[in-house]
Amino acid sequence: MKILLDFTALALIYFSFFYPHWKSQNRDILFTRTLMYIYLTFVLYFTLMPILTSLPFIFNHPYTPMNLIPFIDVTAGHGDFIRQIVLNIVMTIPFGFLLPLTKHPAPSFLTTLLYTFILSFCIETLQPLINGFRSSDITDIITNVLGGCIGYLLYLLLRPLLTKLLTCLQKPSKLSKP
């Protein structure tokens, strides 16, 4: 139920600010940016939510600093490290893929990796603040950036097909009225 408040706030932000602005532009911009917004909403859901109901209690638990030893869970054999690594990579593949589609001109590979790093760093920094049971780890940032890298490479491979698809979205439909 607490998460419903976050989703409601995100929907209000989308429909009151982003949707009217993006709708006034090309359909491809509306499509790609809405897809990115939905993706980022799910990233928030899996990493930080509930946010709004947690804000009053943000300082009611100790802040655990980020683990700065890369892949310590792997070397020590703790927990389900393989699952965590795979999920962190998979989580940011869409970001690396969608970011070049939402920006005109498309950002470079290094710029996309920088944005992926910033996204991951913000999530990892906020997780222990919002929820005292969550921790942050440098391994997550490394694997998230790897996911963004894979997503960008997929974008490069599919760019010719995506260009055709997005061009079709720009053309007015034959069914639409003049």
The per-residue pLDDT for range 34-90, each reduced to its tens digit, is 999 999 999 999 999 999 999 988 888 888 888 899 999 888 877 788 999 999 999
pLDDT number for residue 137: 93
**How many angstroms separate the CA atoms of 112 and 166, rounded?**
20
**How many angstroms separate the CA atoms of 61 and 43, rounded?**
24
pLDDT value at 176 more than 60: no
pLDDT digits (tens, 9 = 90+) for 153-167: 999 999 989 888 877
**Residue 137, in any domain of the structure:** yes
Give the largest CA-CA distance in the chain.
Answer: 66
pTM, 2 dp: 0.89
What does the DSSP 8-state code read for residue 109?
H
| pLDDT interval class at 116 (50, 70, 90) | very high
| Separation in Å, CA 154 to CA 52, 87, 148 | 35, 18, 10
127 contact partners, CB below 8 Å, separation of at least 6 = 47, 48, 134, 135, 136
User: Between the ranges 66-75, 133-142, 144-153, 169-178, where is the mean pLDDT highest?
Assistant: 144-153
**Residue 7, in any domain of the structure:** no
| Range 105-130 average pLDDT | 95
In total, how many domains does the chain have? 1
**Residue 6, in any domain of the structure:** no
**Residue 51, in any domain of the structure:** yes
Question: What is the pLDDT of the chain when averaged over all its residues?
Answer: 91
**Residue 102, in any domain of the structure:** yes
pLDDT number for residue 174: 53
**Residue 18, in any domain of the structure:** no
**How many angstroms separate the CA atoms of 131 and 122, rounded?**
14
Cα 147 to chain centroid, rounded: 11
Range of the domain at 43: 25-61+74-170
Q: Which amino acid is at 1?
A: M
**Residue 67, in any domain of the structure:** no
**How many angstroms separate the CA atoms of 74 and 123, rounded?**
21
φ/ψ (deg, to 5) at 140:
-65, -40
**Residue 68, in any domain of the structure:** no
